[in-house]
């Protein structure tokens, strides 16, 4: 029984380890810049999905959604997603899929200044 508890504790601790994480997300006026760190082996044909919701008056409305294939190299990766956003508040939903499984997902706030 103590061995089983030890094994479960180790598995629970390992479950929180992520090999792919989103870093900085910025908007340059005509494109979203997304940084992704991959500590695992490189992956060809991963999928980066970007969904942007405009937030106004306590409501959210989708204004952009795109998925594209990416090469996910080991280390820091930077991707540019062309998009035209008007001034305002947004929620950016980012997901990376590898072999049809979600590897990383995050929601970021984004403010676009006038």
Per-residue pLDDT tens over the stretch 16-67? 446 899 999 999 989 999 999 999 999 999 999 999 999 998 899 999 999 9
Nearest to 25 by CA among 61, 52, 60: 52
The model's pTM: 0.81
User: Distance between terminal CA atoms of the chain?
Assistant: 62
The domain covering 19-112 belongs, at the CATH homologous superfamily level, to Immunoglobulins (2.60.40.10)
96-to-41, 91, 105 alpha-carbon distances in Å:
15, 17, 6
* Residues near 110 by beta carbon (within 8 Å), at least 6 away in sequence: 25, 27, 52, 85, 89, 90, 91, 92
Where in the chain are the domains? 19-112
| Residue 107 in tokens | 């929601």
């Amino acid at each position: 029984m103590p061995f089983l508890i030890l094994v479960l504790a180790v598995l629970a601790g390992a479950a929180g380890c992520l090999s792919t994480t989103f870093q900085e997300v910025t908007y340059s006026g005509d494109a979203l810049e997304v940084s992704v760190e991959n500590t695992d082996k490189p992956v060809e044909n991963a999928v980066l999905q970007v969904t942007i919701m405009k937030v106004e008056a306590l409501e959210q409305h989708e204004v952009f959604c795109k998925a594209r294939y990416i090469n996910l190299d080991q280390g820091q990766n930077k991707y540019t997603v062309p998009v035209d956003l008007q001034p305002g508040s947004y929620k950016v939903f980012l997901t990376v899929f590898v072999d049809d499984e979600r590897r990383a997902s995050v929601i970021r706030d984004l403010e676009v200044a006038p």
